[in-house]
Amino acid sequence: EVQLLESGGGLVQPGGSLRLSCVASGFTFSNYAMSWVRQAPGKGLEWVSALTGSGGTAYYADSVKGRFTISRDTSKTTLSLQMNSLRAEDTAVYYCAKGAHYFPYYFDYWGPGTLVTVSS
């Protein structure tokens, strides 16, 4: 059974940093792309970042490019998102999502999410 569990969310001041983690199980982690998708309170889904299988290529939404860094540790089957220079508009539930293939054309499993609140 595929399981994804995010952690690391919390309250942070504008300009601060936070690191999110997603522990994966139930599949061969290195074979599949992984992604982060966020949802601001009361709003829709917004793709944030993706990493192809084996961590080959990283992709970022324009809204986070240069501030966020996605990475994966295959030995720990963990996906991470380092978030720097956080802004109020980054406040959202952040979901870890598994790509259905080596390249993430779509996302077949999602974690329950972790809430990030950026506020002074």
- Beta strand 92-99 with 107-110: parallel, antiparallel or unpaired? antiparallel
Query: Minimum distance from CB of 16 to another protein (Å)?
Result: 26
Query: Minimum distance from CB of 61 to another protein (Å)?
Result: 7
Q: Are 11 and 115 in contact (CB under 8 A)?
A: no
Minimum CB distance to another protein smaller for 3 or for 17: 3
Which residues of this protein are in contact with another protein, per CB under 8 A?
Answer: 35, 37, 44-47, 50, 59, 61-62, 95, 100, 104-113
Question: Encoding tokens for residue 81?
Answer: 């998102």
- Selection from 97, 90, 78, 95 nearest residue 18 by Cα: 90
Query: Minimum distance from CB of 93 to another protein (Å)?
Result: 9
